[in-house]
């Protein structure tokens, strides 16, 4: 359960100030990411009426039969945007800078997010970082370099992604787990694990001490995870165990011992869990069925809900005070509402157009809206990178902004799809960790496909629009 030795990294004041540590400076490679024009401390702020212009492609797509209706906000948001920096030597030549997991909102209002380079994970030449956004200072700072937590060793794997969720634990520590380009390959012979790194691990970052610690090693190593969920009330961390069949696993963080582990193969489509207020976990089982982990019986059982043509949930919100969980379905691109108490699923129509890929759904603090961004896997720019506010009471979709055209015009950058979004505690700001690409002067190995240059955005929603 526990790692063979406790690994602690003191990142020091230099890392907290955004100075890259652990690599010699590259003398001949161009700076990557390139500087943002007009940036202050690495951040630009943009408010543009162009955010409210409907792209021609969207105007055509909205006429398709069955397309979801939408309105556009009357007042544009103000958006702060920063690139993830301090990527190490020859950052421009790395395989694919990208972000794949949900971000975390801490109780002090700061936001944590991760990126990786999708590089040679088996050979040990990959990079993976954690950052924190300070909303007061409007600065994005790198705080964790995983190659300092787990120093590179020839022939040993290196982490290239943060795919599972990032959460603040009950003790204020930041919880996260890293993975490979494809965690299902962890048991392949070319991944030579060691006692120091036997497979996937749960890490915690201490914001006060600026230290990263190994909290636990996933059981049955080598196993990795791309999917997690934290039950803060019960201080329990849940994840899907990849390799050898998907399994649901829960870890009591106070006692440092498992509370449950399902049989391999119990989890079907393995990219999302939902949590109700009683502490029960809902997950996609085989054959598009919804399954439930019952906290009282400590067992899993199939519910009466079936997702039909979809393999299951791709995103889900917290449970609202009136007992509803909102989210989106894989493949069909439908919005849904699920009542755990009644085991009832209601489809609310396409999330965007006739259905689109949405990986995160955020319920607003006042529970009036669900926020989401369609086109997660690099496809958002086809629709201008819309930010959607779904009005629960009226079943209406409103575009808060089309981000891509304005940022392409002003900063030569196209914010594209996202796997991570969080709404501030007062409901005024939507934080998004973007994949994206430059719109000019692309390096030879990059294409304008929504990947290769990551950015963090704070989208300030006008009071009149919420």
Find the largest Cα–Cα distance for the chain.
Answer: 62
Evaluate whether 416 touches 436 at the Cβ level (below 8 Å). yes
In DSSP notation, 277-341 reads TTS-EEEE-GGGEEEEEETTTTEEEEEEEE-TTS-SEEEE-PPPTTS-EEEEETTT-EEEEEETT
Boundaries of every domain in the chain: 1-19+103-271, 31-97+359-466
According to DSSP, residue 13 is labeled H
Q: Is the pLDDT of residue 79 over 70?
A: yes
Evaluate whether 243 touches 184 at the Cβ level (below 8 Å). yes
Evaluate whether 333 touches 355 at the Cβ level (below 8 Å). yes
Q: Is the pLDDT of residue 2 over 90?
A: no
Q: Is the pLDDT of residue 18 over 80?
A: no
**What are 278-324's pLDDT values in tens digits?**
999 999 999 999 999 999 999 999 999 999 999 999 999 999 999 99
**What are 176-207's pLDDT values in tens digits?**
999 999 999 999 999 999 999 999 999 999 99
CA distance linking residue 31 with residue 215, whole number of Å = 35
Q: Is the pLDDT of residue 144 over 70?
A: yes
Task: Note the pLDDT of residue 244.
Answer: 87
C-alpha 465: how far from chain center: 25
Q: What is the mean pLDDT of the chain?
A: 94
């Amino acid at each position: 359960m526990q790692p063979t030795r406790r690994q602690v990294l003191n990142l020091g004041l230099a890392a907290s100030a955004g100075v890259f540590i652990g690599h010699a400076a590259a003398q001949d490679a161009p700076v990557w990411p390139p500087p943002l024009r007009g940036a202050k401390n690495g951040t630009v702020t943009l408010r543009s009426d162009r955010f409210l212009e409907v792209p021609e492609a969207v105007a055509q797509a909205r006429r398709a039969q069955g397309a979801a209706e939408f309105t556009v906000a009357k007042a544009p948001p103000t958006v702060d945007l920063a690139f993830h920096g301090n990527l190490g030597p020859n950052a421009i030549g790395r395989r694919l800078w990208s972000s794949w997991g949900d971000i975390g909102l801490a109780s002090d209002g700061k936001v944590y997010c991760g990126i990786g380079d999708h590089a040679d994970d088996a050979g040990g030449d990959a990079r993976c970082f954690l950052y924190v956004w300070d909303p007061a200072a409007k600065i994005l700072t790198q705080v964790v370099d995983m190659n300092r937590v787990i120093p590179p060793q020839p022939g040993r794997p290196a982490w290239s992604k943060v795919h599972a969720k990032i959460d603040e634990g009950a003790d204020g520590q930041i919880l996260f787990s890293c993975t490979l380009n494809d965690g299902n390959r962890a048991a392949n012979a070319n991944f030579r694990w060691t006692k120091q790194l036997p497979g996937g691990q749960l890490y915690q970052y201490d914001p006060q001490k600026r230290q990263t610690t190994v909290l636990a090693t996933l059981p049955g190593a080598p196993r990795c995870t791309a999917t997690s969920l934290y039950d803060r009330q019960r201080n329990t961390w849940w994840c899907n165990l990849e390799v050898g069949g998907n399994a649901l696993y829960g870890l009591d963080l106070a006692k440092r011992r498992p509370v449950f582990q399902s049989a391999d193969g119990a989890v079907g489509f393995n990219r999302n869990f939902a949590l109700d207020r009683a502490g029960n976990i809902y997950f996609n089982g085989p054959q598009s069925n919804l399954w439930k982990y019952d906290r009282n019986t400590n067992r899993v059982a199939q519910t009466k809900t079936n997702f039909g043509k979809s393999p299951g949930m791709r995103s889900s919100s917290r449970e609202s005070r009136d007992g509803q969980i909102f989210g989106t379905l894989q493949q069909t691109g439908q919005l849904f509402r699920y009542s755990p108490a009644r085991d009832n699923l209601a489809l609310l129509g396409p999330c965007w157009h006739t259905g689109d890929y949405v990986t995160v759904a955020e319920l607003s603090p006042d529970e009036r809206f669900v926020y989401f961004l369609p086109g997660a896997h690099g496809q958002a720019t086809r629709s201008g990178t819309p930010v959607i506010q779904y009005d629960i009471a009226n079943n209406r979709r409103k575009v808060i902004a089309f981000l891509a055209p304005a940022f392409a015009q002003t900063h030569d950058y196209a914010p594209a799809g996202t796997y991570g979004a969080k709404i501030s505690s007062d409901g005024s700001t939507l934080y998004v960790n973007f994949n994206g690409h430059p719109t000019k002067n692309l390096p030879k190995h990059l294409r304008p496909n929504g990947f290769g240059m990551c950015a963090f955005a704070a989208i300030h929603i006008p009071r009149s629009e919420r």
